[in-house]
Amino acid sequence: MIAVNNLTQQFGKRVLFQDVNLKFTPGNCYGIIGANGAGKSTLMRILSDQLSPTHGSVSQGPGERMSVLEQDHFKFDECTVLDTVLQGHTVLWDIIKEKDAIYAKPDFSDEDGVRAAELEEKFAELEGWNAESDAAALLSGLGIKEEKHHMLMKDMSGNEKVRVLLAKALFGNPDNLLLDEPTNDLDLDTVAWLEDYLSKFENTVLVVSHDRHFLDSVCTHTLDIDYNKMTLFAGNYSFWYESSQLALRQQQQQNKKAEEKRKELLEFIQRFSANVAKSKQTTSRKKMLEKLNVEEIQPSSRRYPGIIFTPAREPGNKILEVHGLTASVDGEILFKDVNFTIEKGDKIALVGRNGEGKTTMARMLIGQLTPTEGFIRLGANVNIGYYAQNQDDLMDGDFTVYDTLDRVAVGDIRTRLRDILGAFLFRGEDIDKKVKVLSGGERARLAMARMMLEPRNLLVLDEPTNHMDMRSKDILKSALMKYDGTVVVVSHDREFLDGMVQKVYEFRDGGVKEYLGGIYYFLEKRKLESLQEIERRDAPVAKTVAAPKTAKGGTEPAAAPLSGKASYEQRKEQEKLLRKLRKQVEGIEAELADIERQIAEYDARFAAGGAYNEADFKAYNDLKARYDHQMHEWEKASYELEITEGE
């Protein structure tokens, strides 16, 4: 349990939040949301005692232990991977170190013996004998192979360090767990593992994340930080967002009666409660939603950037061709003999585990890296825009925000730079800030603003949603879906990719495989659609492609190298699937409309006070149950249809 009492945090004249009183209780997971710079990470630092508040206090339950996801990736460079994880349980680690020091003494005294016995007793109480095996299990679950458990942290890659530090935070079943952006730099498999772990975690969890799917999967509550105040809601992010949008629409309908608004909100809560009752967080989330007062739902007044990408002059149908592409690093092959063609208007996702070569491919496509073998041929009139995962490589830290845009702007657009920066939430003194003092979210917005200044017909985006708040990600996604040009995006964000891409290239085991469908089509084919049935990391990743075994013990043919166009048969089957899905969705929508009409008729009858009986009430409730069921079916059927038709 964590209690926050009269908490205020102020930096100079800027007040982040004031007089906050909250209680976070065991068995619940609290998702902390808010625009970049609202104070999410500041709150986490205050809760973890890394920052003293201007006013107020934070307390835990008696004897409780807090664990925090470390943000300093170099802090444990001289420690082994396993020792780093063990340090997550500070009490146990101190006992281990003191024991080792006593037993290492050359002149072991009677007093040392007594102290050693005391430490051994405490060690046993904390189940210290299982500590190393528990730590190893966490590391394996997060994709760190056993042979690396005794390596020094300084010899691990950046992505591997992130996983080790996450294992450290989870180790020892802490009473209170604080996670700031835990899914950054994690691949789909690992995020799924973490979702499953947290859904079973019985203590208190607070998590800051920009991954909507992740928050929806694990959170029972949402804490919204907006305009100097914090508001706690029951339910996950989707409930908060949809309810706030409903409240905003109602606010704009001045002529609508208060009772009608209340009824609409109440029905919304009831429908959402029925839907979330099917999730992992069934009991806690459903109970809280049922208790929710409709007056607690308020519209959000948050501002977000305006993103519009303008295509350059019309290119040819063939944007680029990849032929025989091979990439290797220090003699290790990332991928080999890759062939594919990107055509005008394609929206493509590059997915796969970290270290399989996605960023390398992106940098080769823009000409920043040279392949070991093979070539990339650009089509006529192709003009490439690139968004790098690390903006430090593309922006001079000593330039101001304004100068960063002014350097690339040409023509009349230079007269509108302040308006453009304002659209991306850089106002007043913000435009004179140097790039090196900007937050990660501010740098992301500035990079997007710069990309808008020059028309491009091919955008290559490497993890563009890192450091973006969720509403900004929605706006970026909408802009890319409306963009007439071609998009290649590297991302681990399923929610962002859903509905935007029509083709997925998976980097795996030294090769690249094409999936002619959106992200959820890919997840289904890879048995990843259900996060409960996620593919486990029980087999070592090889750099050569092995033919998978069939159910009868034979082998399936290896995936054929990618060609510029799928075979006629493949495309025919894909079109058949899409026609089936369109028909299914249209049928469900028609049924939903009819159910809504019938419910409205019953509502009118009940409101008029006419004659009705128990059978009428049963029919009325059956209609509502049918509506909830069909809504669930509509969501499932829409996944694959949305990949081609948008939202």
Over residues 294-347, the pLDDT tens digits come to: 455 555 555 555 566 666 778 888 999 999 999 988 788 899 999 999 999 999
Tell me the pLDDT band of 445, cut-offs 50, 70 and 90.
Answer: confident
How many Å apart are CA 323 and CA 563, to the nearest integer?
9
Q: Are 237 and 223 in contact (CB under 8 A)?
A: no
- DSSP state letters, 213-232: HHHHHH-SEEEEEETTEEEE
Q: Which residues are 431's β-sheet partners?
A: none
Over residues 455-473, the pLDDT tens digits come to: 888 999 998 887 676 667 7
- Of residues 112 and 613, more confidence is placed in 112
594: left (phi over 0), alpha (psi -120 to 50) or beta: alpha
Tell me the pLDDT band of 584, cut-offs 50, 70 and 90.
Answer: confident
pLDDT, residue 456, reads 86
Q: Are 513 and 505 in contact (CB under 8 A)?
A: yes
How many Å apart are CA 320 and CA 343, to the nearest integer?
7
- Of residues 411 and 231, more confidence is placed in 231
Tell me the pLDDT band of 406, cut-offs 50, 70 and 90.
Answer: confident
Mean pLDDT in residue range 33-42: 77
Q: Return the minimum-mean-pLDDT range out of 316-325, 356-365, 570-579.
A: 570-579
Rounded to the nearest 5°, which phi and psi values hold at 29? -120, 120
How many Å apart are CA 641 and CA 637, to the nearest integer?
7
Residue 562 has pLDDT above 60, yes or no: no
CA distances from 335 to 356, 507, 508, 512, 539 (A): 7, 8, 8, 7, 19
Residue 480 has pLDDT above 90, yes or no: no
Over residues 90-101, the pLDDT tens digits come to: 999 999 999 999
Residue 283 has pLDDT above 50, yes or no: no
- How large a percentage of the chain has pLDDT more than 70? 72
Identify the sign of the CA torsion 460, 466, 472, 473: positive
